[in-house]
Structure 1
Amino acid sequence: MTFESNTPRPFTRSTENKMLAGVCGGIAEYFGADVNLIRVLAVIAAVCTGGTAALVYLAAWMLMPLG
């Protein structure tokens, strides 16, 4: 009998898909999405929110451990 573990995966910055800090790469790896799509969405969010998304990115850079 095999049981699947219900423990969540760690939410970490990427060491392979990093351009600046690895935050978008880590998000893409966690959700199984394309890293370039996440980067484009991050830039669009930063423009549409007047820079608030950029502050969230910086906070994620400081809070997310390097994986």
Structure 2
Amino acid sequence: MAGNNKLYRSQDKKIIAGVCAGLAEYLGWEVSMTRLAYVLISIFSAAFPGVIVYLVLWVVMPEK
């Protein structure tokens, strides 16, 4: 992996809970592109699964 070796929710770049920012840091991707990709994937999968996944990650991922 290009980023950190542990997956955390970001405190610095968060908008709601820091899930997408944490994923971006972990994968070494740009935060805005990660958010855009997550939103697009959520919309094209009828939005509901994307919301559930985000909520689960919010609970499961520890804060940095």
TM-score of the two chains, using structure 1 as the length reference? 0.83
CA distance in 2, matches of 1:64, 1:37: 20
Matched, 1:38 2:34: yes
Secondary structure (helix, strand or coil) at the match of 1:28 reads helix
Deviation at 1:34, TM superposition (A): 0.4
Structure 2 CA distance for aligned equivalents of residues 35 and 54 of structure 1: 18
Q: 5+ unaligned residues in a row in structure 2: which ranges?
A: none
Q: Which runs of 4+ in 1 moved over 6 A?
A: none
Sequence identity, in percent? 35
1:32 Cα offset (Å) = 0.8
Cα RMSD (Å) of the superposition? Answer: 1.2
Long gaps (5+) in structure 1: 1-7
Distance 2:20 2:49 in 1: 16
Q: How high is the TM-score relative to the length of structure 2?
A: 0.87
Aligned length: 60
1:59 equivalent in alignment to 2:56: yes
Q: Residue 60 of structure 1: SS of its match in structure 2?
A: helix
Higher helix share: 2
